[in-house]
A and B are shown apart, each in its own frame.
Chain A
Amino acid sequence: MTLRSRDFSDAPVVLEISDLVVRVSDRDLPPVLKGVSFDIRRGETVCLVGESGSGKSVTSLATMGLLPRNALHVEGGRIALNGQNLLDVSSAQMKQRRATDLAMIFQEPMTALNPVLKVGPQITEVLDLHTKLGRAEKKAKVLDIMRQVHLPDVERIYDSFPHQLSGGQRQRIMIAMALILEPALLIADEPTTALDVTTQQQILSLIAEMQQRHGTAVLFITHDMGVVAEIADRVCVMRQGEIVETGPIRQVLETPRHDYASKLLDAVPSLVPRPSRQAPPATPVLAAQNLGKTYRSGSFLGKKTEVRASHGVTFDLSPGRTLGIVGESGSGKTTVARSIMRLIEPTDGRILLDGDDIAHLTSSQMKPKRRKLQVVFQDPYRSLNPRWTIARSLTEGPLNYGVPYDTAIAEAKRLLKIISLPEDALRRYPHQFSGGQRQRIAIARAVMLKPEVLVADEAVSALDVSVQAQVLDLLDELQRQTGIAIIFITHDLRVAAQICDEVLVMQRGAVVEQGSAERVLHDPQHEYTRALIGAAPGRFWDFAARKPLVA
């Protein structure tokens, strides 16, 4: 796999956006888009990349004419599709052009499909609205596009509801819906972000395949440089409503001109594991032995069902070391974390914390142990109580364990310095901080109790790459200062490569591979590990070094 280098200079321009300015309605704020210009040609893929709040999605929604009413409006500029300015088109005409001339797919295929309608009729609706085909013709056309997006057993899926399909299948349905009328332009807004890496790879190649077949111009929005490297012909890097850098993919990745673009590339964690650290000859603080959790359900009338969420998990974790648990959704990695935290009771095996088995302690027996085990969750927007000040969130844990308030506040102030927040942050509420700041606060909250083990469950997955790098650095620094042991749960091999000493790869509840991060990532033994590494987007490119990665 290499960067794309296709030439589109002879192809007709499909979308041309020039000087697009979008403002927040009835408020005197700086514009959300400050004169965005770019074009896409027939058959070409242009990637809009940038971090959250950069205006990528606003650009795409403005193009579709779907900016939220009463909130945002286009103030100036031009959005020309095949030469016609969409901003001059009436709303009835615009309705007619959607799906016919331009279509869109979204990030979250679970929520983007209507949960109470069958998926087949949801695709057929596009034909109902825009064509005068007969019933049988419509159904044939829908089944045909469903086959084109490689859905299995299309007759059955036609009559399925969204919740009966997998994430990848749902996204295929979305793509089928978007492409059934062969629009000239497809806007894909983070279409693979919510998917597992192996599914992501399939969807990316599906989009490329459909593009080739129909000559579609694709506007692909993503925050993931790896994905950009896989599919872009040209890249526009956005920041704060402006395109700061644009050019062919190779040029942007090899010789970025703008500082921000360079910074973004530097922040992409490398798939090359960091040099392994000397293992200290310490006794493990935490050990799992053949740990497993099986969910059993069923009533006296119904059938008994058993789900083995995880089984046979064995590891030792020494102070100052980081263990990565890597796997896709449903692999059981979060079940393992919850078992270790004793948020759930495991059904098999032992968990040794400082040599004591905590696998089956009652909640009152567990209480004195809890302070040794702390957790940081994925979504910093939901893991802090929105009605509590930061001071209250930070001191609650120590106060529960009888620490005097003054001592707890002093410790909170000390930690705020480490996480680079001002002292007055204590009096503020979570909504006054950015996502990255909140996640740092969540980490501070976890380490307030001076735990021996910190479980980070997808702790950086919701963050932009530059912020991700800061949070990873923070964890690293805390670990060096306090010798805390970290269990780092992630689906992202790049992140695992950067922070873990040892890695445990899980699939369908079982550990398929386990070893030092360097060994597992360089020389994967198990087929599934190889597939995971193979599916990591942009694995052939070393972003920080601006050159292809030589294996």
Chain B
Amino acid sequence: MTSYLIRRILSVIPVLFLVSIFVFLLLRLTPGDPAAIIAGDNATPETLARIREAMGLNEPLLTQYVKWMGGILQGDFGRSLISGVPVLDMVAGRIGPSISLAVMTIVITILVAIPMGVIAAWKHRSWVDHLVMSFSVLGFSVPVFLVGYVLLLVFSVKLAWLPPQGYRPLTDGLGPFLERAILPSLTLASIYIALIARMTRAAMLDVLNEDYIRTARAKGVGERRLLFVHALKNAAVPIVTIVGAGFALLISGVVVTETIFNIPGIGRLTVDAVLARDYPVIQALILLTATLYVAVNLLIDLSYPLFDPRIRY
């Protein structure tokens, strides 16, 4: 187990190294001169030369990469080209809302989707099953912004139960946090519920046909215990895989929802940085996302033995 863990962590290094090369070249190989893009249309040659010098663009690529990487390894991701604020501070300020939102979305998803999938599989081909599957198709096909605006319209505008927009960290108290986080989380959860309910149903349908389910019935095990103790744990591995991958996606890819609800998260930072061609910020965000993916995948893999004792590392 320990040696497996060490090997897995070591294997992260080449992955991130490749990502860093890609990110680095992204800036240098973009058509046109980054300095020209940064300086704008009306820049004088002197300004351009100054920017080039400041960005180190006159040095050989390898030297540039080593300097950049050296900075990152010491925690220096450079400064934003637009605001001049250190990139690390910008990202750090935005990660909190994104992570809170992602965690809450996943919690809602698990609480809703797994029972939904289990019950749909249990009542296979009944009206309950059809209802769950229809909801699932709906969740996939209705765009996120529509769900978001409908929720806003109903709960904030018409009923005025919840504030329409904004974000308050958990440190301001559970109430204010939940008030503002619940609608965006529900919006995001709609699509994940659809996905994970489907996965759960499929995994459970396989498991419910297994011989040990018949054995459990022959012992006189009740239906609830049968589903949630005997079957669900066997169906857990694919479900956990999807939940984990979904979580990683959530942190980086929730632009629309963050925009609708005016949440200062990573998603909006990414969009703003891309639109402004703020390269140091884009680079840092891509590296962050890649690291997150690798870390979450490692955690998922390590969690498998908790569900299935036949998997050992």
Contact = CB atoms under 8 A, between A and B. Distances in A.
Contacts of A108: 211
A114 interface: yes
A140 B3 CA distance: 39
Interface stretch (A124-132, A246-254, A434-442): A124-132
A66 interface: yes
Contact size range, B: 20 to 34
A112 interface: yes
Interface stretch (B181-189, B215-223, B241-249): B215-223
B17 interface: no
B309 A161 contact: yes
A437 B6 CA distance: 54
B234 A116 contact: yes
B220 A114 contact: no
A113 B233 CA distance: 14
Given A70-B125, A99-B218, A301 B211 contact: no
B277 interface: no
Interface in B268-313: 307-310
Contact size range, A: 20 to 34
Interface string A105-128: 010100111111100000001100
Given A114-B230, A116-B307, A301-B7, A99 B215 contact: no
A112 B211 contact: yes
B283 to A, nearest CB: 34
Contact of A117 (B3, B218, B233): B233
B159 to A, nearest CB: 42
B125 A113 contact: no
Contacts of A450: none
A126 B214 CA distance: 14
A178 B307 CA distance: 26
A126 B233 CA distance: 19
A302 B313 CA distance: 11
Contacts of B234: 114-116
B210 interface: yes
Given A114-B234, A117-B230, A95 B309 contact: no
A302 B217 CA distance: 42
A115 B221 contact: no
A465 B252 CA distance: 62
Contact of A99 (B6, B220, B222): B220
A420 B216 CA distance: 44
Interface in B198-229: 210-212, 214-222, 229
A86 to B, nearest CB: 13
Interface in B74-101: none
B241 to A, nearest CB: 16
A115 B219 CA distance: 16
Contacts of B220: 95-100, 126, 129-130
State the 9 A-B residue pairs at the shortest beta-carbon distance, nearest first: A98-B220, A111-B211, A114-B212, A104-B218, A161-B309, A112-B211, A95-B220, A301-B3, A116-B233
Interface of B: 3, 6-7, 125, 210-212, 214-222, 229-230, 233-234, 307-310
Interface of A: 64, 66, 70, 95-100, 103-104, 106, 108, 111-117, 125-126, 129-130, 161, 163, 174, 177-178, 301-302
21 contacts: A66-B214, A66-B217, A95-B222, A99-B219, A106-B211, A106-B215, A111-B210, A111-B212, A112-B215, A114-B212, A114-B215, A114-B230, A115-B234, A115-B308, A115-B309, A116-B310, A125-B219, A126-B220, A129-B220, A163-B309, A163-B310
Given A95-B220, A111-B210, 18 more contacts: A66-B214, A66-B217, A66-B218, A98-B217, A104-B218, A112-B212, A114-B216, A115-B212, A116-B233, A116-B234, A117-B233, A125-B216, A126-B219, A129-B220, A129-B222, A161-B309, A177-B215, A177-B219
